[in-house]
Amino acid sequence: MKLRVRTKLFFSSVMLIALCLAVSYGYLRRTLTTYLTERIEQDLGQRLKLVAYAAQQPAPLFPHNGSLQTLARKLSRLSDARVTLLLQNGSPLADSEVEDHELASLPNHLDRPEIEDALKAGYGQSTRRSTTLQKAMMYVAMPFPLPDGRQALARLSMPLTDVEHALARLHFLLSVAAVLCLGVAVLLSSLAAHLLARSLRKLTDVAHRMALGDLDTRTQSRGEDELAGLGRDLDSLAEHLSHALSELGKLETLRREFVANASHELRTPLSVLLSAVETLQAGAAHDPKAASQFHDIIYRQAERLRLLVNDLLDLSRLSHPGPPLSLAPLRLFDWLPKQLAVFFPRAKARFQTLHALPGDPDVSVLVDEPLLSRALSNLLDNAIKYCRPGDTISVGYAPDSPAGRVRLFVTDTGPGIEPQHLPRLFERFYRIDPGRSREIYGTGLGLSIVRHAVESMHGQVSVASTVGEGTTFTITLSMQ
């Protein structure tokens, strides 16, 4: 049978209360028994001392006509306990609970625990069931000298009826308390289970609707308990799922745009190639001048395709990285001039000035050197492509010591970029001027490759530009 949460909570509460009552009863019974027993022993020990004192007087305090049996009875009435007088060898001399003619039939008491302890230590005590009276009894004993010089022992005993009565009373009170507590537990547990089950039903209903796709539903939980926390977690989960779905939608849109852009970028040079080949096949191949022009067209378009495919492969590899990169220290002072040397001829051919700014020789960064080289090469390639004759391109670096970072920047005095283009500049295939970009064989992937390469090295890339004054791209990397 499947139990509901409310029923489980109710039975759990009742069982817990019953267990607590059982443990409390056992503890109180043991504690009360020990306490009463100790009090009775202390009281009985004081009475024993008085009995021993009276029995050892040369002229007894209580006339007994020479009879120890009569003295034992009188002392028993005064001490409100059974009094037994024994010789040191354990033979009974008198017993307040035994008739005179039965005294001789009493057994030797030398093997009694309280007698053994009294002979050894001067005082003995034991609790056991009396074989004579058939009751639970407490015994205390101590030695004393008789008036005639013989060594004797006085023993007092009394039934533990007070303890038994107290335990019976405790049992009754605990039984009443248990019934009352269980009654209260039934009411409170039922109420608590109802309230808790209602909250759980609400959370379950909201979670079910979320599972069916209704991510706008919320628990609106209040409070500081676990259920309220669970409700807030469900609300937070719904928020994250809504955000994730929105991001997935954006990614799907980007994917479609990427496929469309990539197809367009591939289709354009392929169309030119196909047209050139068809023209050659139609007879232009027999005209040396025309053949040379079309061969040049085929070469340039094939080169454009090669660059585009390489950029797509690089971007795919950077967008879906495998194991973490193994970053190593790189000294920028030595590395930077080698990178610029490759671009000096191109900048000179376009009548541009390319130079490195002075930097700290001891600055090193933690990078993957081929990736950083690719990122810087793309930035320099773009700067040379889009700068005008006479413009200056500067490359430098500066440590940001408090943050433990290094800024590597490429600055030019070119035409600059309008503000509306800056947020999308690192998107794939995004072009500020598509027509002009294709004229200079731009694939539209260079800056996207820069961003992915830098981020894979735990860095950031940013851009700042002013129209008519120039542009600065900054790569921020971790300092060694």
Q: Which range (59-63, 143-147, 212-216, 466-470) has the least confidence?
A: 59-63
Q: Which two tokens stand for residue 186?
A: 């039934």
The predicted-structure confidence for 44-59, as pLDDT tens digits, reads as follows 899 999 888 888 877 5
What is residue 443's DSSP assignment?
Answer: -
Per-residue confidence (pLDDT) for residue 234, from 0 to 100: 72
Nearest by Cα to 122 from 93, 154, 79: 154
Q: Are residues 351 and 451 in the same domain?
A: yes
Residue 30 CB burial class (10 angstroms; 0-12, 13-18, ≥19): exposed
Higher pLDDT among residues 125 and 480, named by residue: 125
- Cα angle vertex 347, ends 341, 352, to 5°? 130
Considering only CA atoms, give the Rg of the chain.
Answer: 53
Q: Please say which residue of 271, 298, 315 terminates a domain.
A: 315
In a domain, 181, yes or no: no
Q: What is the pLDDT of residue 137?
A: 86
- Lowest model confidence (mean pLDDT) among 29-33, 241-245, 342-346, 412-416: 241-245
Q: Domain check: are 356 and 391 in the same one?
A: yes
How far apart (Å, rounded) are the C-alpha atoms in residues 75 and 406?
A: 105
- Alpha carbon of residue 195 to chain centroid: 28
Q: For residue 36, give its domain range.
A: 5-165
- Does 185 reside within a domain? no
What CA–CA distance (Å, rounded) separates 213 from 457?
38
Residues 32 and 128 in one domain: yes
Share of the chain above pLDDT 90, in %: 36
Based on the fold, state whether residues 250 and 311 are members of the same structural domain.
yes
Calculate ∠ Cα 60-64-68, nearest 5°. Answer: 85
**Facing residues of 466 across strands?**
470
CATH number at residue 279: 1.10.287.130
| pLDDT the model gives residue 247 | 66
Sort strands 392-400 and 353-356 into parallel, antiparallel or unpaired: parallel
Q: What is the pLDDT of residues 298-309, one digit of tens each?
A: 877 777 677 667
Are residue 278 and residue 134 in the same domain, yes or no? no
- pLDDT number for residue 435: 47
Higher pLDDT, 219 or 357: 357
347 and 469 belong to one structural domain: yes
Label residue 382 by pLDDT band (50, 70, 90).
very high
Question: Do residues 381 and 471 both lie within one domain?
Answer: yes
pLDDT at 4: 62
- 283 and 417 both lie in a single domain: no
Q: Give me the mean pLDDT over the 108-131 stretch.
A: 91
| Angle at which helices 288-319 and 446-456 cross, to 10° | 30
Rounded-to-integer distance, Cα 354 and Cα 347, Å = 6
Cα–Cα nearest to 111, from 91, 96, 129, 127: 91
Q: What is the CATH number of the domain that holds 71?
A: 3.30.450.20
pTM of the predicted model as reported, rounded to 2 decimal places: 0.47
Of the candidate ranges 186-195, 253-262, 442-451, the one whose mean pLDDT is the lowest: 253-262
Confidence at 193, pLDDT banded by 50, 70, 90 = low
Coil, strand or helix at 109:
coil
Strand partners, 398: 407
